[in-house]
């Protein structure tokens, strides 16, 4: 069985970016998990604890998740063949 690399990459990217967007929005509006989001977000280049930072980290995870999912599917397809 072959995996669709583009579909898996898009799925990973959308899930990763959506999760971060929700976490950042929740944290910025209510203050819930603010220290955790700031600590983990500090590991990302260019991160800031603002709405612009939320857009930046969402875009980073969309791209990174796509690349990670695409690579995972490609490696799986190589070994499955």
| Alpha-carbon span 77 to 81, nearest angstrom | 6
**Vertex 49 angle, CA 45 and 51, to 5°:** 105
pLDDT of residue 81: 81
For 51-70, the pLDDT digits (tens) are: 999 999 999 999 999 999 99
Q: Do residues 76 and 7 touch, judged by C-beta distance below 8 A? A: no
Q: Quickly state the pLDDT bin for 21 (edges 50, 70, 90).
A: very high
Tally the C-alpha atoms within 13 A of residue 54's C-alpha that lie toward its C-beta. Answer: 16
Q: Do residues 36 and 49 touch, judged by C-beta distance below 8 A? A: no
pLDDT, greater one: 20 or 81: 20
Query: What are the domain boundaries of the chain?
Result: 5-80
């Amino acid at each position: 069985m072959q995996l669709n690399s583009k579909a898996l990459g898009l799925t990973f990217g959308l899930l990763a970016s959506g999760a971060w967007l929700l976490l950042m929005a929740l944290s910025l509006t209510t203050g819930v998990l603010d220290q955790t989001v700031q600590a983990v977000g500090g590991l990302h280049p260019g991160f800031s604890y603002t709405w612009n930072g939320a857009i930046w980290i969402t875009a980073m995870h969309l791209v990174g998740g796509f690349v990670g999912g695409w690579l995972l599917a490609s490696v799986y397809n190589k070994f499955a063949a």
